[in-house]
């Protein structure tokens, strides 16, 4: 199985390159001229996109072709203060340049919209805001020149004191979701509420690929839930109609007392035995490293591959991918 590693949004090696610079609502209202405030927001967004471009050039140097974009590229988008803001035309050039570089390097780009995007909410206004936010993500993907299919990862949402009812609410709300948004989505198990098995069953029912987060699974599972290897062939089968390779998430717990929080780095023992299980069911896997040290955590894993891989029958393919024999 060939494994390609990616990381999330920011680099600890590239300085002054945040893709999430912002302006608060209070700062915006403090600008007397609203149009001047909107132009400043556009300049911040342009800087965020230029920083993303710097990150892609950094990634190119290390063969990293899997990267999660920040959902905060455009500050205050969707906020009531910026209603009617025609920002798209002002940012298309930066998006196009970013997308061209990603396409040239064969980079898989995707998003993980913020936690307030909830599709199983019983509140119509929350659902509408969630759909509007997803429409914005689809616009960004298209502006990058990327087909939005299976590019946005979501959790199922809240339990609302009754998980069965919450899942039924998701299925009910699904009927209100536009087809283009449906096609853009992936569902991920979370660390507190919906287990891997519950997420898988919903994905199978709706025809949505599942992103397995193995750290979340280790934090949140039912005592009688099947072992993860028994679920793996079904999880991977949810990707059978996707144009993209199977995607999963990996992280290590910060400590025994704080198992849900992500550590700075991924412990190889948390990842490689699991990958050997996955290798029984797919020939290709994209693994997103969710660690506090971002790209440095990816580099540490590749260092381990280069030092320990031969005796483990793992061979480096380039700076950010390897083959498990």
Structural domain of residue 285, as residue ranges? Answer: 2-324
Which pLDDT score, from 0 to 100, does residue 258 have? 78
Which pLDDT score, from 0 to 100, does residue 223 have? 72
Instruction: For residue 161, count CB atoms less than 10 angstroms from its CB and return exposed for 0-12, middle for 13-18, buried for 19 or more.
Output: exposed
Which pLDDT score, from 0 to 100, does residue 260 have? 78
Tally of domains in the chain: 1
Give, for 239, the enclosing helix (H) or strand (E): none
Which pLDDT score, from 0 to 100, does residue 309 have? 85
Which pLDDT score, from 0 to 100, does residue 140 have? 98
Instruction: For residue 97, count CB atoms less than 10 angstroms from its CB and return exposed for 0-12, middle for 13-18, buried for 19 or more.
Output: middle
Q: How many other CB atoms sit within 10 Å of the CB of residue 192?
A: 12
pLDDT beneath 70, residues of the chain: none
- Mention every residue, 6+ apart, whose C-beta is less than 8 A from residue 84: none
- Mention every residue, 6+ apart, whose C-beta is less than 8 A from residue 91: 42, 45, 46, 49, 74, 143
Radius of gyration of the chain from Cα atoms?
Answer: 20
Which pLDDT score, from 0 to 100, does residue 257 have? 77
Which pLDDT score, from 0 to 100, does residue 144 have? 98
3-state SS class at 23 = coil
CATH number, domain of 70, equals 3.20.20.150
pTM: 0.95
């Amino acid at each position: 199985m060939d494994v390609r590693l990616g990381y999330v949004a920011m680099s600890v090696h590239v300085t002054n390159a945040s893709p999430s610079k912002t302006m608060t609502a209070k700062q915006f209202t403090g600008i007397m001229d609203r149009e001047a405030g909107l132009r400043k927001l556009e300049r911040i967004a342009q800087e965020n996109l230029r920083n993303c471009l710097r990150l892609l050039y950094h990634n190119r140097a290390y063969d990293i072709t899997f990267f999660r974009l920040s959902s905060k590229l455009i500050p205050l988008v969707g906020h009531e203060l910026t209603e009617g803001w025609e920002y798209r035309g002002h940012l298309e050039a930066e998006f196009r340049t970013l997308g061209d570089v990603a396409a040239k390097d064969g980079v898989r780009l995707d998003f993980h919209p913020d936690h307030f995007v909830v599709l199983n909410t019983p509140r119509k206004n929350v659902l509408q805001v969630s759909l509007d936010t997803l429409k914005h993500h689809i616009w960004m993907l298209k502006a990058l020149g990327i087909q939005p299919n299976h590019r946005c990862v979501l959790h199922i949402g809240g339990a609302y004191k009754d998980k069965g009812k919450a899942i039924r609410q998701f299925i009910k709300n699904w009927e209100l979701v536009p087809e283009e948004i449906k096609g853009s989505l992936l569902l991920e198990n979370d660390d507190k509420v919906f287990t891997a098995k519950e997420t898988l069953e919903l994905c199978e029912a709706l025809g949505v690929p599942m992103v397995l987060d193995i750290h979340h699974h280790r934090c949140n599972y039912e005592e009688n839930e099947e072992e993860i290897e028994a679920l793996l062939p079904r999880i991977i089968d949810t990707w059978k109609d996707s144009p993209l390779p199977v995607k999963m998430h990996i992280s290590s717990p910060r400590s025994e007392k704080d198992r849900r929080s992500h550590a700075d780095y991924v412990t190889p023992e948390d990842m490689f035995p699991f990958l050997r299980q996955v290798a029984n069911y797919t020939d290709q896997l994209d693994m997103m490293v969710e660690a506090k040290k971002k790209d440095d955590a990816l580099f540490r894993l590749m260092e381990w591959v280069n030092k320990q891989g031969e005796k483990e029958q793992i061979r480096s393919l380039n700076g950010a991918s390897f083959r498990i024999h």
